[in-house]
Amino acid sequence: MRIGGQFLINLRHNNYAMYKTLILAILLPLLLTACSNKPIKQGKITYAISYQLPDSLSRYAAYLPTQAIVYFKGDSTVTIQQQGDEATTVISYQPTSFLRVLLHSAAASYQVDYARSEQSTLLPAPLGYHYMPKKDSASIAGYRASKYEIEDKGTGLISEIWYSKKLTLPVNYLTMPFDTTYGVAVKFTTKQNEIPVTTTLKEIKFEAVPDGVFATPPGYSKITPQQFKDMPVGN
């Protein structure tokens, strides 16, 4: 009986193993197909931009962009700021550290590609920030957010940032200076040329992006980051 009982146990075990193998063989292609057909997250982000200009520069307010549009698809993003005939477009792909800046005006159009080692020159705080959590919280664009004070490691200047963990978005040109471990930056103030600039998330739409939005239009002259840096003001 012990031998027969063990045989039945082994038989049942083998049949169960064969059943699991059969089910796995059926389900695996379905799972792989489902994964391959999973839609890529894409959409449009709108930010509001405000500036704290000193009285001596207030007359230039009309020339500064007050809105930024970001299109994203997977890890690809394009950030567009435009005011009148002038536009700055930044195309980025974080996995490969690709970053291309397109500068357009009525007078000329330039394409500037930045290697990873050169990208810190575009940041408001090239050495990064120290982060200090605060107790404040608020709803920004419908997302619960928490406040942090940030200290520029290079200058020691203090500003603030609001993070939300209620959404997931790829890093874009506006948010690339910040540590993503705290969440998604939905409002932040930085200093650019000694002028405080506040960027606030206004709206996110998860929808198909326009065709060709990540492509570089024809007619842009290629220059290096150093050539752009050496350009006289006004070009």
33 and 72 housed in the same domain: no
8 and 73 housed in the same domain: no
Q: Is the pLDDT of residue 29 over 80?
A: no
Domain that holds residue 3: 1-38
Question: Does residue 126 belong to any structural domain of this protein?
Answer: yes
Alpha carbons 205 and 114: distance in angstroms, whole number: 29
Six-digit token pair at 139? 């709803």
User: Are the C-beta atoms of residues 203 and 45 closer than 8 Å to each other?
Assistant: yes
Helical ranges in the chain per DSSP H: 2-36, 225-229
Question: Does residue 235 belong to any structural domain of this protein?
Answer: no
Q: How many domains does the chain have?
A: 2
65 and 155 housed in the same domain: yes
The pLDDT of residue 63: 87
At 140-161, the pLDDT tens digits run 999 999 999 999 999 999 999 9
Q: Can you give the CATH number for the domain in which 120 is found? A: 2.50.20
23 and 132 housed in the same domain: no
Question: What mean pLDDT value characterizes the chain?
Answer: 87
Helix, coil or strand: residue 69: strand
57 and 124 housed in the same domain: yes
Is pLDDT larger for residue 234 or for residue 13?
234
183 and 79 housed in the same domain: yes
Question: Does residue 234 belong to any structural domain of this protein?
Answer: no
Helix, coil or strand: residue 207: coil
CA-based torsion, 186, 187, 191, 195: positive or negative: positive
126 and 210 housed in the same domain: yes
Six-digit token pair at 1? 């009986």
Percent of the chain with pLDDT over 70: 83
47 and 34 housed in the same domain: no
Question: Does residue 53 belong to any structural domain of this protein?
Answer: yes
Question: Does residue 52 belong to any structural domain of this protein?
Answer: yes
4 and 55 housed in the same domain: no
Q: Is the pLDDT of residue 4 over 50?
A: no
At 168-218, the pLDDT tens digits run 999 999 999 999 999 999 999 998 888 999 999 999 999 999 999 999 999
67 and 111 housed in the same domain: yes
Six-digit token pair at 83? 């005011």
pTM of the model: 0.81
207 and 97 housed in the same domain: yes
3 and 78 housed in the same domain: no
Q: What is the Cα Rg of the chain in Å?
A: 26
Question: Does residue 78 belong to any structural domain of this protein?
Answer: yes
Question: Does residue 49 belong to any structural domain of this protein?
Answer: yes
Q: How far apart are the first and last CA of the chain?
A: 96
Question: Does residue 130 belong to any structural domain of this protein?
Answer: yes
